Amino acid sequence: MARTYNNKESDVTMVPRNDRGEYIKVCRLTPEGNQLESIDIRNYYTSDRDGKVYPTQKGVRIHSEMLVETVVAILHACTDEELNAIWEQVAAPEEES
């Protein structure tokens, strides 16, 4: 059964993976009804046919009740250099679009 979500464009981040038009998209999914909110992290590609960006099947959805524990586990897996880079980006003011 398909689920219906309301996605706000401001909740979406596209991170470039390479120079071939591949991205990692991170967004918060807010379901209609009584499902849990979640974060979806998915690979996207740019089609050679029409130049549009499409999702692949590769990705992960993390329900909001598991989000803190999952992020903490990811941080524990990071090296000291990666953690320093993360904290620098978190502390930096957001760039104007």
What pLDDT is recorded for position 62?
94
Residues 64, 37 contacting (CB under 8 angstroms): yes
- Amino acid identity of residue 35, one-letter, is Q
Architecture of domain 5-91: Roll (3.10)
Q: What is the mean pLDDT of the chain?
A: 85
Q: What is the pLDDT of residues 76-89, one digit of tens each?
A: 999 999 999 999 99
What pLDDT is recorded for position 13?
87
Tell how far CA 76 is from the center of its chain.
19
Segment holding 35, helix H or strand E: none
DSSP β-ladder status, 38-46 and 5-6 = unpaired
* Domain parsing of the chain, residue ranges: 5-91
Residues 43, 58 contacting (CB under 8 angstroms): yes
Tally: H helices and E strands in the chain: 2, 5
Segment holding 23, helix H or strand E: strand 23-31
What pLDDT is recorded for position 92?
84
Helix, strand or coil, per DSSP, at residue 69 = helix
What pLDDT is recorded for position 95?
65
pLDDT in tens, the chain (97 residues): 344 455 544 467 899 999 999 999 999 888 777 778 889 999 999 999 999 999 999 999 999 999 999 999 999 999 999 999 999 998 887 765 4
